[in-house]
Amino acid sequence: MNRCFGIIGGDRRQGALAELLEADGHTVYSYGLPGRQTGSLDQAAAAPVVVLPLPLCRGEGVLNCQEAPLPTAELFRHFHPGQRLLAGKVEAEQRREAEKWGLQLEDY
List, as one string, the DSSP characters of the chain.
---EEEEESB-HHHHHHHHHHHHTT-EEEEESBTTB--S-HHHHHTSSEEE--SSSEEETTEESBSSS--BHHHHGGG--TT-EEEESS--HHHHHHHHHTT--EEE-
To the nearest whole number, what is the mean pLDDT of the chain? 92
List, for residues 11-40, the tens digit of each pLDDT value: 889 999 999 999 999 999 999 988 887 788
The dihedrals phi and psi of 105, each to the nearest 5 degrees, come to -90, 130
Pairing mode, strands 62-63 and 57-59: antiparallel
Q: What is the pTM of this model?
A: 0.92
